[in-house]
Amino acid sequence: MRMSRLTLGGGALAVPLALTTVMCGGTPPGLPGPGTVASLAAPLPAPPRPNFVVILTDDLDARTSAQLPRLETFAATGLAFSRAYVTKSLCAPSRVSLLTGQYPHNHGAVFNSTGFPDFHRSGGEASTVAVWLKRAGYRTGLVGKYLNGYPLEGRLEYIPPGWDDWAVHLTTQENSRYFNYSMNENGRIVEYRSRPEDYDTDVIARKAVDFIRRGSTDPFFLLLAPQAPHAPATYADRHGAAFADARAPRVPSFNEEDIRDKPAWVQGFPLLDRVEILKLDQLQRARLRSLLAVEDLLDDVMSALAASGQLANTYIIFTSDNGLTLGEHRLVGRKGNSYEECIRVPLQVRGPGVPAGRELSHLVLNIDLAPTLAQLAGVPIPESVDGRSLAPLLGANPPSLESWRTDFLVEAFATGVSASLRNRDYLYTELESGELEIYDMRADPYQLDSIHRKVDRASIETFSRRLEALLRCRGASCRQ
């Protein structure tokens, strides 16, 4: 608004020109005259709803992700969570938790072998973050891996509700994760062979860029789920010389000498011999090389968003469905348990208003991602959600550690239920065998010494009661 200078007592006072007109008895140009009811201030246009790109890797543990330089550079442009966890360290249950915001005991897909059939037959696909966002006008897409056991026999063209663009591995049909696989591409079955351009991660990257470039006036949610670095960790030829000297992390728990404190299932594993360790190191080199194509994918997505003018209004989330062991406690390639290597995953967020270069140590979970996207999109969060929106943590003034989540549940299922309570200081596990594990994570972050025989009975009962409450929780009671 133009300003007029009025001289008062020899000084100058800036007054809006419109007000000088009113003081002289006139009607300001462009404003309603006497008797009108129009607002004197035109409403500002609503800010555009943000876009979301989630990159969900397969079996990427936090230690391995820290060895990827471009991923570290990406993390520096946004926010990294140093204590991000999954509520079950197994692919299908974890992915369903990400989509629904629910603990496995509430969504019911608790096994890999029957992950998709159980989730589909329960009707759980009717309430996922894709469904919530699509109903609110979002364009949605999933490219890569959906769930183990997808699709049901004889229904290769099936597409779950909530997805506009669907290019997903037929996991029950493929011979390999990275080459020689088939995908359901919007109801059309497409086969990929062993040509360099058929490499899974590169196919996902091309489809992601196409999705972004297609453009629309609608905001979008795009879930990208490459197979990397899941075994056999096949890498693209162009990355064959990278990480020549890499090996599995030689942390204090690597090939643990004394495992008498561990439960019987761990004690059954002998010390790794030299040949086994060499093979493990080879696997880790392959895993790291396979992740270089994931970094390429991330670069391509960022470039496409920038070229289309959408980068500033897009949240990009990088994470994994679970970690796995790389020789810790003598365990190679194991998951589905509650050891830190299996439940802690990378989680990095870049987007509108997210401070760059910050790291937070709040306890955050895979069940938090669905309600986070819903809140950021302005979509109601269903009462069925067990997780908490991370939106308050993404701004300049996050809530304190003391006011945030203090503990959470980790579940495991075999013939019975094993479960763990993880809080900021301890991991407490009750196995279906009746055995216990307790680790003081402050003094023993590598879980070398289970103190279950040294802790007083009252402390064990306190842990057990809280664990039982979380195993029964549903919705709001899980967030307390």
Q: Which of 91, 342, 473, 478 is catalytic?
A: 91
Contact at 8 Å (CB) between 68 and 291? yes
Token pair for 402: 């003391």
Active site residue 478: no
Tell me how far CA of residue 172 lies from CA of 119, 121, 145, 323, in angstroms.
16, 17, 11, 23
Contact at 8 Å (CB) between 266 and 329? yes
- Separation of alpha carbons 170 and 167, rounded Å: 10
- Separation of alpha carbons 102 and 96, rounded Å: 8
Token pair for 376: 């950021």
Contact at 8 Å (CB) between 170 and 183? yes
Question: Mapped to the 3 state alphabet, what secondary structure does the chain carry?
Answer: CCEEEEEECCEEEEEEHHHHHHHCCCCCCCCCCCCCCCCCCCCCCCCCCCEEEEEEECCCCHHHHCCCHHHHHHHHCCEEECCEECCCCCHHHHHHHHHHCCCHHHHCCCCCCCHHHHHHHCCHHHCCHHHHHHHCCCEEEEEECCCCCCCCCCCCCCCCCCCCEEEEECCCCCCCCCCCEEEEECCEEEEECCCHHHCHHHHHHHHHHHHHHHCCCCCEEEEEECCCCCCCCCCCHHHCCCCCCCCCCCCCCECCCCCCCCCHHHHCCCCCCHHHHHHHHHHHHHHHHHHHHHHHHHHHHHHHHHHCCCHHHEEEEEEECCCCCECECCCECCCCCCCHHHHECCEEEECCCCCCCEEECCCEEHHHHHHHHHHHHCCCCCCCCCCCCCHHHHCCCCCCHHHCCCEEEEEEECCCEEEEEEECCEEEEECCCCCEEEEECCCCCCCCCCCCCCCCHHHHHHHHHHHHHHHHCCHHHHHC
Token pair for 198: 């058929």
Token pair for 424: 């900021």
- Separation of alpha carbons 61 and 71, rounded Å: 13
Catalytic residue ranges: 91
